[in-house]
Structure 1
Amino acid sequence: MPRSLHGGRHELGQNFLTHRPTLGRILTLVRQTPGSILELGAGDGALTRGLAGLGRPLTALEIDEHRARRLQAALPTVTVRAADALRHPLDADVVVGNIPFHLTTPILRRLLASRTWHHAVLLTQWEVARKRAGIGGGTMLTAQLAPWFEFGLEGRVPSWGFAPQPAVDGGLLTISRREDPLVAASDRRRYEAFVGAAFTARGSGLPAIIARAASTSPSRARAALHAAGAAGCRLPRELRAQHWAGLWRELGRAR
């Protein structure tokens, strides 16, 4: 196949999914969602063919113009675009794809800043999927996003399930936009700043950390943790989405 204008496989970060159980799992997850579908990084269409079989409006993005042209010829019922996932509008109900590992962070940032989609099923590096899903403790970024999004880990994909084989395993990450956010959208920036302060504040014990982050007293922070159902937590990474939202409500007067 001719070289793309955007570079070869290494420049494009293309590791095509060949692991059939994962292809089937992705289709099952997408089947459980409603509406139109946007696939990021369609490649040679291993996943696109299954998505097309769902009988829903489907747009497939592929940055390699030669692969995009071949895929369009093979799947005439699918809208195939030779386009960059970092630039094309995320204008579908469901976003799905095997994300180039080196572009995981910018694609996730763009996705989570968009207000158009409702569900996402993404194949990323294992550690990224694990962290976003809060396995082993929450991260600051996940805690900042949790009032508006729900994250799930749907499986680990061995590195040999890709061709060519990458250096690390993949992880199947699901993201759903909450129909009823736990924190008002108008509070988002202040809430994110509060969570950021909590993850970076010093203190002996969680009440002291929350007190410093919220500029309040340790006794009030302790009472807020109890009211939020987080009295048994010792560190910010142990707090769940409902805990953070409860703290935000309880400490409103202190703010």
Structure 2
Amino acid sequence: MPRRTPGDARRRTLSQNFLHDQQVVADIVATLHPPPGALVLDLGAGAGALTRAVAAGGNRVLAVELDPRWVGVLRSRAPAWGDVTVVAGDALHVPFPAERFLVVSNAPYAIGTKLVRRLLTDAHGLTRAVVVLQREAALRLAGGGRFAASWAPWFELTVHRRVPARAFRPVPSVDGAMLTVVPRAQPLLSPAAYPRYDAFLTAAFSGRGNTLARRLNVRPSALAALGLPRDATPGAVPPEVYARVFTALE
């Protein structure tokens, strides 16, 4: 049996799986599509595959990494990559910049959902993010569930290409996927409506009955008038449609 190194133990503890496939790296950067000179945060930079690729496009990069060993590696390599600043810190707690910025991340799968939630709640200067998550997690966050419906009035969450497990080293047990987070140029609801909208979603996803009409205690014809099937179930309604149903029923 091969001898396990301290690096192996560290990767297991921190759930580190580094991108190895350069075509996947290129696809992630192309999906982020940062304009030249833009500020990009690489949250969970690891060995720097994404940091290097983003910096090569003429962007300013803040590479945030928690593991002290990889912080040292990044700082030794960064001068050759361009305008890169390495920050020793936790992607879930590092302060966001005051200026507008983009985010790219191949953070450990274990913190993926928490990281996306933080971008949605705290990253007020965010213009676009591409996050690599477990594929099932990406589909859940962007699919027909409570999470996506909660944020759809203000953000577009979209699942892009599958990232095969073999694209990482060490190879994880499941495939990943690219999830984009993009603030809507024109929100579907005012932020002031959130408390009422949240109560509406609680009824839609936790109320009694199998159909959305039953859970909202409305006539099926009211949903039909909005272009929905009379027997629509909560999970079958696209996340962005909930804002329209909420507005109409209010």
Root-mean-square deviation over aligned CA pairs: 2.1
Query: Which residue number in structure 2 is paired with residue 108 of structure 1?
Result: 116
Instruction: Verify: 1:229 aligned to 2:237, yes or no.
Output: no
- Normalising by the residue count of structure 2, what TM-score does the alignment of the two structures yield? 0.88
Which stretch has the larger CA shift, 89-98 or 173-182?
89-98
Picking from 17, 20, 27, the partner of 1:18 is 20
Unaligned runs of 5+ in 2: none
- 1:1-255 superposed matches below 5 A: 8-31=10-33, 35-76=38-79, 77-91=83-97, 93-114=101-122, 115-134=124-143, 138-211=144-217, 218-219=218-219, 222-223=221-222, 225-231=223-229, 234-252=232-250
Question: Matched residues in 2 for 1:235 and 1:33: separation?
Answer: 41
Secondary structure (helix, strand or coil) at the match of 2:49 reads coil
1:9, distance to aligned residue in structure 2 (A): 1.5
Cα offsets for 1:211-243 (capped at 9, x unmatched): 2xxxxxx33x632x2343224561111112442
Q: Summarize the Cα distance change of 1:99–1:189 in structure 2 as closer, same or farther, 3 Å threshold.
A: farther
Unaligned runs of 5+ in 1: 212-217
Question: Matched residues in 2 for 1:124 and 1:164: separation?
Answer: 16
Question: Matched residues in 1 for 2:187 and 2:212: separation?
Answer: 25
Q: Across the two proteins, how many residue pairs are aligned to each other? A: 238
Q: Summarize the Cα distance change of 1:233–1:39 in structure 2 as closer, same or farther, 3 Å threshold.
A: farther
Q: Is this contact kept in 1: 2:34–2:59, CA < 8 A?
A: no
Question: Matched residues in 2 for 1:176 and 1:204: separation?
Answer: 32
User: Sequence identity of aligned pairs in percent?
Assistant: 37
Give the counterpart letter for 1:103 in structure 2: I
1:90, distance to aligned residue in structure 2 (A): 2.8
Q: Is this contact kept in 2: 1:228–1:242, CA < 8 A?
A: no
- Normalising by the residue count of structure 1, what TM-score does the alignment of the two structures yield? 0.86
